[in-house]
Chains A and B, each alone.
Chain A
Amino acid sequence: MTEWIDIGSLDDVPVRGSRVIRSAIGCVAVFRTAADEVFALEDRCPHKGGPLSDGIVHGRSVTCPLHNMVISLETGLAQGADEGEVKTFKVRVEGGRLLVDRSLARRVEAA
């Protein structure tokens, strides 16, 4: 069963925009669509490593800011003729708060 961790408010992510979270496995981009759906993807385009969080969000896709590769927010797969895939992560909204899978967090022993 997924253990969730609060990363902030939905309102912190612009509509049709994205914010980055630093995670145990690197940067993860949290996207918010025009329809207020949220998706979380590895913030790294499979093409040349562009930061997807800086792309333009349209429908359920994001266009990479470096070379316009279009990535599906749902599947992480490159759209159209391009090939490539980025990792997707579980994210959900509860009471206006954004929750992601706790496994993205790295535990640091409290001193």
Chain B
Amino acid sequence: MRRKLVVIGAGMASGRVLEDLIGADRDAYEITLFGAEPRGNYNRIMLSPVLSGEKTYEEIVTHDGDWYANNRVVCRFGEKVETIDRSRKVVVTDNGETPYDKLLIATGSQPFIIPIPGKDLDGVLSYRDLDDVNAMLMAAERPGAKAVVIGGGLLGLEAAAGLKARGMEVTVLHLMPTLMERQLDPAAGYLLQKALEGRDIAVHCKANTHEIVGTDRVEAVRLDDGTEIPADIVVMAVGIRPDKTLAEAAGLAVGRGVHVDDAMVTSDADILAVGECVEHRDMCYGLVAPLYDMAKVAARTLLGEAAAYEGSVTSTKLKVTGIDLFSAGDFADRDGREEIVFRDATRGVYKRLVLEDNRIVGIVMYGDTADGTWFFGQLKDGSDISEMRDTLIFGPAYAGGSPLDPMAAVAALPDEAEICGCNGICKSRIVTAISGGATSLDAVRAETKASSSCGTCTGLVEQLLAVTLGDSYEQQAARPVCGCTDLTHEDVRRLIKARALKSMPAVMQECGWKTSCGCHVCRPALNYYLLSDWPGEYVDDPQSRFVNERNHANIQKDGTFSVVPRMWGGITNPRELRAIADAAERYGVPTVKVTGGQRIDLLGVRKEDLPAIWADLNDAGLVSGHAYAKGLRTVKTCVGTDHCRFGTQDSTGLGIAIEKRMWGAWTPHKVKMAVSGCPRNCAESTCKDVGVICVDSGFEIGVAGAAGMDLKETEPLTKAATEAETLEIICAFVQLYRENAKYLDRPYKWVAKVGLDWVRERVVEDLESRAALVARFDFSQQVFQHDPWAERARAEPARQFRPLADLTMEAAE
């Protein structure tokens, strides 16, 4: 014969016990279920959505008549249990006695009603069950109806929001200074209050209700200070009390609730209790998660298995659509506790983690609670978070070992990483500013100066904004380098410097490249950036060079190449010309042309002949003109004071000096220069990347001209008194361009981005900065200023220019 189980209370706790019990052994007990409400079990925590109209009652039913019938549970809903007779093991109702072998008490809790005058008036409601909700809904039907909610806790606020959604005028009265003070700290409570007020819910904190006014129905609520707030209904939601009446009357041990041990057994071995009515290890719970934990244990105890409930750490979420709030654990300030706080005033986001011994002990989140569950998991597991503390507040996406994220590289930067090279601003300074309310690029610029100078770190600052502020920060669409990465050129340049990335695999790894070895777009750019930033350390990768720079000649449409020896300042002599003529004949060069850069182009040279023609030209003292390179091309000159009757300075000599100093330097794009001996400008200095015009008193230096896809006059950078100063300034300008420009931006494009003033400050005005730029340029030149032709004319490298094998001549055996 089956043993008899009687359950008192048909709420969520007992419902879960029955599920677990029947699921494990449906024949273990003959079950009788008493419930005070005239209906079965529904999901009580979903009452708020029913109130607000987002769900119907039918949607929140967890166990309907069929379920009880199918599981042979005898339901006696609406039948009130009067007493428990423990000696005879029966429960007594109006209909008589029901015997039990085991009894489960799940009587839940009663709303706490403040003992004030008027508390019994019609229209004073609590917020516990469907009847309360139905009463509220009836009141809300009348247009313009007013509701006062007493209690600014979880329940009260859900009620207030629901009533508001039903069209009522709602006032919340709360005794404490901030809302939900048990779950939220004052900062989050403040944000919550603002959000509610934004929905037209009036909130009065520190409001002590004096009396509920009305003759036979509620008319108003009067506060201690005399304020009277009109009301058609008053919802009391100031708290709950465990309903222990029945247990207490039966002589069971009780405190605030029914005492249970870890097996959920009361002081009577045959009586168990679960849910809001119990007191376990001095704790009473009003949330659903612990109830379920208890239910699981109770079911196993009923089945005769050993199980122990060890208390719950609870978390809270407010179920008001549009208000995201999460709290868990203990977040009181205490010695030895530290906190990590994130705020975004504009978006109304607040996150606070309370740490103790490198573990999360408290979580308060408002506005963006997406990571709440993850934090809560860390809290419950007692995980040591010291490793990920820097990024902890950003949640699991940044907690290390996570999948690559476009912003992971920036997120992973250490605090001291320099983001803005111009102003020496490190990451932490920017993040602090953002967290402190600088939530736009302009605000960060104003606050920290980061990205306010040359602007090349703008992308990184924007990413920090996005990383710090979350999804809502809308980044301006920045063009990534290529499909291999989401980072822009500027980002990559900055990261290469900030993280001292000195090889291509390092860049690709640390910046989260999406391809294993890049592509034809990013590789040449990375190769340049690494060469430029780490001269002497980074080894050039020919396979990441475009064909022209790999072969040190310009590829032509038929796959042949052009060869252009350097002619310093456009000056040549018969010996050089003779060598060029000889080479042209020897290698059958079909076309010999004078270029716009004042030198001679040999077009149509076969690739395999390149090393030999170079060797011949080298013999005559000619070196590569880098006519193929992203580097210094030519310095065009006029004849100046040597011959010209208008010449004011030795323009040819200066042009040669510049070319001798600058040749061989790799730059983001090609660089063309010119020096004109007078303002008649015969060398066309005014459309060059750098153009000098000599005048009687010195040298006018213009930069950022263009005569290609765009036509643009140079902008005056400064005027120098001497040739030496002119050279220094030009070197400094080129070095600044080398260090900062995006690959394939000519100087005019780069200057347009950073501004000529920014350039002038560093190249002209700040002499220390100028000297440092020149020093870095000269150092780099020690590494790069050598003739690539001479190197490749030697036997071994020259082999690379010839076919690997010639199978057209294979002899038959």
CB distance from A61 to the nearest CB of B (A): 8
CB within 8 A of A34: which of B516, B550, B805?
Answer: B516
Cα–Cα distance between A23 and B803 once the two chains are bound (Å): 10
CB distance from B65 to the nearest CB of A (A): 63
- A14 and B808 form a contact (CB under 8 A): no
Contacts A106-B810, A108-B809, A108-B812 given: A56-B523 contact, CB under 8 Å?
A: yes
- B812 and A107 form a contact (CB under 8 A): yes
**A30 surroundings in chain B (CB, below 8 A):** 804
In the complex, whether B551 has a CB less than 8 A from a CB of chain A is yes
**B520 surroundings in chain A (CB, below 8 A):** 55-56, 58, 63, 68, 70
Cα–Cα distance between A13 and B802 once the two chains are bound (Å): 12
CB within 8 A of B808: which of A15, A20, A22?
Answer: A22
CB distance from A12 to the nearest CB of B (A): 6
Per the 8 Å Cβ criterion, residues 551-572 of B in contact with A are 551, 555, 557-559
**B804 surroundings in chain A (CB, below 8 A):** 7-8, 12-13, 19-21, 30, 98
**A96 surroundings in chain B (CB, below 8 A):** none
- A22 and B807 form a contact (CB under 8 A): yes
Q: Mark A26-69, 1 if CB is under 8 A from B, else 0.
A: 01001000110000000000001111001111110101011010
Q: Which of B116-124, B539-547, B710-718, B786-794 contacts A (4 or more CB under 8 A)?
A: B539-547
Cα–Cα distance between A21 and B807 once the two chains are bound (Å): 7
- A54 and B800 form a contact (CB under 8 A): no
Cα–Cα distance between A106 and B806 once the two chains are bound (Å): 10
- B808 and A24 form a contact (CB under 8 A): yes
- A54 and B806 form a contact (CB under 8 A): no
- A21 and B803 form a contact (CB under 8 A): yes
- A56 and B807 form a contact (CB under 8 A): no
- B557 and A48 form a contact (CB under 8 A): yes
Closest residue of chain B to A6, judged by CB? B805
Closest residue of chain A to B559, judged by CB? A51
- A19 and B803 form a contact (CB under 8 A): yes
- A106 and B808 form a contact (CB under 8 A): yes
**B542 surroundings in chain A (CB, below 8 A):** 14, 17
Closest residue of chain B to A20, judged by CB? B803
**A48 surroundings in chain B (CB, below 8 A):** 557
Closest residue of chain A to B556, judged by CB? A66
- A107 and B810 form a contact (CB under 8 A): yes
In the complex, whether B811 has a CB less than 8 A from a CB of chain A is yes
Closest residue of chain B to A16, judged by CB? B543
- B807 and A105 form a contact (CB under 8 A): yes
- A58 and B517 form a contact (CB under 8 A): yes
In the complex, whether A5 has a CB less than 8 A from a CB of chain B is yes
- A21 and B547 form a contact (CB under 8 A): no
Task: Give the interface residue-count category, chain A.
Answer: 35 or more
Cα–Cα distance between A59 and B483 once the two chains are bound (Å): 13
Cα–Cα distance between A7 and B607 once the two chains are bound (Å): 20
Task: Give the interface residue-count category, chain B.
Answer: 20 to 34
In the complex, whether A110 has a CB less than 8 A from a CB of chain B is yes
In the complex, whether A104 has a CB less than 8 A from a CB of chain B is yes
**B543 surroundings in chain A (CB, below 8 A):** 14-17, 56-57
Cα–Cα distance between A22 and B546 once the two chains are bound (Å): 23
In the complex, whether A109 has a CB less than 8 A from a CB of chain B is yes
**A17 surroundings in chain B (CB, below 8 A):** 542-543
**B810 surroundings in chain A (CB, below 8 A):** 5, 105-108
**A108 surroundings in chain B (CB, below 8 A):** 809-812
CB distance from A29 to the nearest CB of B (A): 10
CB distance from B798 to the nearest CB of A (A): 13
- B557 and A66 form a contact (CB under 8 A): yes
**B550 surroundings in chain A (CB, below 8 A):** 54
**A66 surroundings in chain B (CB, below 8 A):** 555, 557
In the complex, whether B459 has a CB less than 8 A from a CB of chain A is no
Cα–Cα distance between A110 and B810 once the two chains are bound (Å): 9
Q: Mark B774-801, 1 if CB is under 8 A from A, else 0.
A: 0000000000000000000000000110
In the complex, whether B515 has a CB less than 8 A from a CB of chain A is yes
Cα–Cα distance between A110 and B813 once the two chains are bound (Å): 8
**A98 surroundings in chain B (CB, below 8 A):** 804
Closest residue of chain B to A61, judged by CB? B519
CB distance from A111 to the nearest CB of B (A): 9
Cα–Cα distance between A6 and B544 once the two chains are bound (Å): 28
Q: Mark B673-688, 1 if CB is under 8 A from A, else 0.
A: 0000000000000000
In the complex, whether B524 has a CB less than 8 A from a CB of chain A is yes
**A57 surroundings in chain B (CB, below 8 A):** 543
- B806 and A110 form a contact (CB under 8 A): no
**B518 surroundings in chain A (CB, below 8 A):** 58
- B805 and A22 form a contact (CB under 8 A): yes
Cα–Cα distance between A23 and B543 once the two chains are bound (Å): 24
- A23 and B807 form a contact (CB under 8 A): yes
CB distance from B57 to the nearest CB of A (A): 57
- B800 and A7 form a contact (CB under 8 A): no
Closest residue of chain B to A63, judged by CB? B520
Q: Mark B204-224, 1 if CB is under 8 A from A, else 0.
A: 000000000000000000000
Cα–Cα distance between A78 and B393 once the two chains are bound (Å): 47
**A107 surroundings in chain B (CB, below 8 A):** 810-812
Contacts A7-B807, A70-B520, A108-B812 given: A59-B557 contact, CB under 8 Å?
A: no
Q: Taking each of A19, A55, A68, which has the highest tally of chain B beta carbons within 10 Å of its own beta carbon?
A: A19
Q: Taking each of A24, A56, A66, A110, which has the highest tally of chain B beta carbons within 10 Å of its own beta carbon?
A: A56
**A68 surroundings in chain B (CB, below 8 A):** 520
Cα–Cα distance between A104 and B431 once the two chains are bound (Å): 63
**B523 surroundings in chain A (CB, below 8 A):** 56, 58
Cα–Cα distance between A30 and B803 once the two chains are bound (Å): 10
Cα–Cα distance between A16 and B550 once the two chains are bound (Å): 13
CB distance from B208 to the nearest CB of A (A): 72
Per the 8 Å Cβ criterion, residues 50-98 of A in contact with B are 50-51, 54-59, 61, 63, 65-66, 68, 70, 98
Closest residue of chain A to B543, judged by CB? A16
**A20 surroundings in chain B (CB, below 8 A):** 803-804
Cα–Cα distance between A27 and B808 once the two chains are bound (Å): 10
- B800 and A19 form a contact (CB under 8 A): yes
- A14 and B800 form a contact (CB under 8 A): yes
Closest residue of chain B to A23, judged by CB? B807
Cα–Cα distance between A77 and B808 once the two chains are bound (Å): 26
CB distance from B782 to the nearest CB of A (A): 26
Q: Taking each of B543, B811, B813, which has the highest tally of chain A beta carbons within 10 Å of its own beta carbon?
A: B543
Contacts A50-B559, A54-B550 given: A22-B516 contact, CB under 8 Å?
A: no
- A22 and B812 form a contact (CB under 8 A): no
- A21 and B515 form a contact (CB under 8 A): no
- A54 and B519 form a contact (CB under 8 A): no
- A110 and B812 form a contact (CB under 8 A): yes
Cα–Cα distance between A12 and B519 once the two chains are bound (Å): 23
Per the 8 Å Cβ criterion, residues 496-553 of B in contact with A are 515-520, 523-524, 542-547, 550-551
Given contacts A21-B803, A56-B546, A108-B811, 17 further A-B contacts (CB under 8 A): A13-B804, A15-B543, A19-B803, A21-B805, A22-B807, A51-B559, A54-B551, A55-B547, A56-B544, A58-B518, A59-B517, A65-B555, A100-B807, A107-B810, A107-B812, A108-B810, A110-B813
Interface residues of B (CB under 8 A from A): 515-520, 523-524, 542-547, 550-551, 555, 557-559, 607, 799-800, 803-813
Interchain residue pairs A-B with the least CB separation, the first 8: A63-B520, A65-B547, A19-B804, A7-B805, A56-B520, A105-B807, A105-B810, A16-B543
15 contacts between A and B (CB under 8 A): A8-B804, A17-B543, A19-B803, A22-B805, A23-B808, A35-B516, A48-B557, A56-B543, A59-B517, A70-B520, A104-B807, A106-B807, A106-B808, A106-B810, A108-B811
